[in-house]
Structure 1
Amino acid sequence: MMDESIDEVVIPVNPVTTETVVGKTRRFSSLHTMEILFLTVSILNLLATVGLTVYRLYVVISSDPKSADFTFCILLLVNAAFCVFYVIHGLVRERIYELYALIAALVAVVIYCVVEYSVNAEGRTTVKLIRLIAACVLVPLNIGLAVAVAREFGFLEFRIVGASAAFQYMYRQAALFSCLLKFDLNVNFSFIVLALQDGTNLSVLEVVTLATGLPYSLLWVIMGWVAMRKELQWLIWVFAVLSILTPAYVIYKIVFIYNQDFTAIQSNLKVIEFASLAVGALSLIVRFVLLCELVVVYRNFGKGLKQRAFGDDSSESTGLLAGLKKERSYNT
């Protein structure tokens, strides 16, 4: 009788989670008011950014396709695409670190808008001013909501790995590694896009960089994710060895840019060069942190996380009584 009464209290009438290719996720119908508000503000913020950027990109292509504005428009669109992923995936999968990655990406967008508008006086337009104002108004609100939402996460983690502190720790480390993979891809895509210094007029080197750099970065991230999820030790070693290629290219580009004569560079192109230095440095930092986290994740192999969190026999009943309070709050 006691077990039946507990089941009646704990198990919701309408399921709040569903199984997907990437694992257990929350249904949109289970989102709380604060989460819906965060999702709405995020979508409005990103739609405003994308809309104004696409319009500016159309103007640039029509009037001056070799302008540095072309590069920055593509850069903003790339970051907007990653932000959409961070918002949706971070929300339905309750990935705290992905919301932190969203915050970092939003801050980067604001910094770009402010610096580009203030430094590139010749390229100031009404569209850029509107984009700057929209970013300064919506981004702080977006960040505040992201922090508030992230603080309430924990329900899905409990449903996946149960109440075991050891499994929760390993699951969080795996989630952090997964987030670092995506953020690393985000930063490296941005760095590769910044190689487009002459707009649509691509040199042979820029074509090669785009044709090889983008697919390689994507495949490398997929390799790391599969190795972590399947706990494939041999693939981890391949992943680690290949991880030095991108930093080697980034260091080469940083040294090349640093040794240039900046006095001979046009003012609008200087912004691209300085942005490349900043993004390159960030890329090296993120890659270093990712490899450190790789060691932590690797040491957790063989301890049961794959079966509990990613396998077919992951349990939702472990520590059910310990999670009664959280479960009730999600069913109200």
Structure 2
Amino acid sequence: MRVQHSTLASVEEALRAQVSGVKEQRLPETRRAHVASSMEDHRPIVPQNSDTSDQPLPNLQPRHQELIPTPFGPIKPWAELPWPIKTYFFLAIISLLCVLGLTISNLVQQSNEDSTVSLIQLIGVVFCIYYVTRGILQENRQELIVFVLSILLEMIRSIVNFSVLSKDVKPDIQPRFIVILLVGLFHVVCALSLVLGQNMMAFRVGGALESLQLQYNMLSLCFSLLTFDLQAQLCLTVLVLFSGLYKISAPHTIILVIGLVWAFLKVTIGILAIIKELKPLVWIFLLQNLPEVAYLVYLLYKVVVDWGSGGSYTLEAAAVTGSFISVVIKSVLFWSLYRVYRSFGQGLRERMFSSYGRIDS
């Protein structure tokens, strides 16, 4: 009996050992199965909110609208302008139109010298309307600067005229004088704020490439200088023809009239040369400036020879100043035109006049 009992005990121990070995072998398999099942579980760790549909979606629309193509380059659409700039634009145009009307009404009531100054002022007001329009819609800083300078010159002229008036006339002119100063100061402050503000037009036209942005700035400068040069030529022609600066003959008068047509033709060729990127037209434009430079030298010679013969140095000083300004404008124009000439064919024309300033073009 003892032998059987010991035999049964040994058999029982052997069975227990086998069972424990099987459990130890199956344990890693069950762990691996548990890990695999946990990896196949796609439930998110962080519980999702069921109200995500109520949250606002991000605004993925472009910040700016497409630019509008014009013969002078792309401009911003009217709807893109903020209301303060729209308000100032309306005020600027209305005030300039009022000055234009007053200048025209006063032309027939003034002496020869005063009528010449008023006629030059009339030309300046017309160009200022163009400057403020293009300066706001195209973010053209140099034309806004010229607009500010024109307003400052008008304010200085009003101060000088008011200071030389007699005491009997000053009370009648004083209200208009104060209005001119206040409106002029308002324009100067607003225009300078636009000049010092952010300018994104070069980036919107040229994209992220700094080379294209620089080319656009040079091209815009050329456009502005062409306009400045035309204004200077018109003012000098008016000064010589109508002021009596010196006696001119009939052939000289014909030359001056032809010079006016020549100035408009020259500006047209310059604009076409820049827009179309035509190098032959650039050389034609440069050759067209040679007669104008020669006439400026002749004008300075005549002014120096006849200096002070009329008893007044105002017109002589105006002629010298106008000639000097015209030479400076032409010098900067030739420099910027050379920079633009070297950048022909590098893709700026396509971005300005084909894709209309879209960055993704």
TM-score, scaled relative to structure 2: 0.73
How far the C-alpha of 1:206 sits from its partner, in A, is 6.1
1:71 maps to a residue whose letter is T
Amino-acid identity (%): 25
Deviations 1:137-172 (A, max 9, x none): 222321221121233353443332222221111101
Equivalence map 1:115-130=2 (5 Å): 115=160
2:261 maps to a residue whose letter is P
Structure-1 residue corresponding to 2:34: none
Match of 1:50 among 75, 92, 100: 100
- The CA distance in 1 between the partners of 2:94 and 2:187, in whole Å, is 10
Provide the secondary structure at the position in 1 that maps to 2:283: helix
Distance verdict in 2 for CA 1:135–1:316, change over 3 Å: same
How far the C-alpha of 1:218 sits from its partner, in A, is 1.3
Structure-2 residue corresponding to 1:231: 277
How far the C-alpha of 1:87 sits from its partner, in A, is 0.8
Distance verdict in 2 for CA 1:318–1:231, change over 3 Å: same
Structure-1 residue corresponding to 2:331: 288
2:291 maps to a residue whose letter is L
- The CA distance in 1 between the partners of 2:236 and 2:175, in whole Å, is 26
Q: Which structure has more RCO (C-alpha within 8 Å, separation ≥ 6)?
A: 1
Distance verdict in 2 for CA 1:19–1:297, change over 3 Å: closer
Equivalence map 1:173-322=2 (5 Å): 173-195=218-240, 196-198=242-244, 204=250, 207-262=253-308, 264-267=309-312, 270-310=313-353, 312-313=354-355, 316-318=358-360
Provide the secondary structure at the position in 2 that maps to 1:75: helix
- The CA distance in 2 between the partners of 1:148 and 1:171, in whole Å, is 22
Distance verdict in 2 for CA 1:125–1:71, change over 3 Å: farther
Distance verdict in 2 for CA 1:259–1:238, change over 3 Å: same
CA contact (8 A) 2:206 2:359 kept: no
Aligned pair count reads 301
1:50 maps to a residue whose letter is L
CA contact (8 A) 2:144 2:195 kept: yes
Structure 1 unpaired stretches of 5+ = 320-332
How far the C-alpha of 1:291 sits from its partner, in A, is 0.9
- The CA distance in 1 between the partners of 2:310 and 2:67, in whole Å, is 55
Structure 2 unpaired stretches of 5+ = 1-56
How far the C-alpha of 1:198 sits from its partner, in A, is 4.3
Structure-2 residue corresponding to 1:137: 182
- The CA distance in 1 between the partners of 2:348 and 2:211, in whole Å, is 10
Provide the secondary structure at the position in 1 that maps to 2:285: helix
Distance verdict in 2 for CA 1:313–1:29, change over 3 Å: closer
CA contact (8 A) 2:67 2:357 kept: no
- The CA distance in 1 between the partners of 2:317 and 2:90, in whole Å, is 34
Distance verdict in 2 for CA 1:166–1:127, change over 3 Å: farther
CA contact (8 A) 1:116 1:271 kept: no
CA contact (8 A) 2:120 2:235 kept: yes
How far the C-alpha of 1:287 sits from its partner, in A, is 0.9
Provide the secondary structure at the position in 1 that maps to 2:69: strand
Deviating more after overlay: 38-47 vs 187-196: 38-47
Distance verdict in 2 for CA 1:272–1:53, change over 3 Å: same
Deviating more after overlay: 153-162 vs 273-282: 153-162
Distance verdict in 2 for CA 1:307–1:21, change over 3 Å: same
1:288 maps to a residue whose letter is S
Structure-1 residue corresponding to 2:196: 151
Deviating more after overlay: 226-235 vs 32-41: 32-41
Aligned Cα root-mean-square deviation (Å):
3.0
Equivalence map 1:95-106=2 (5 Å): 95-106=140-151
CA contact (8 A) 1:170 1:297 kept: yes
Deviations 1:213-252 (A, max 9, x none): 2111111111111111211111111111222221211121
How far the C-alpha of 1:18 sits from its partner, in A, is 2.7
1:232 maps to a residue whose letter is L
2:289 maps to a residue whose letter is S
- The CA distance in 1 between the partners of 2:270 and 2:204, in whole Å, is 25
Structure-1 residue corresponding to 2:70: 20
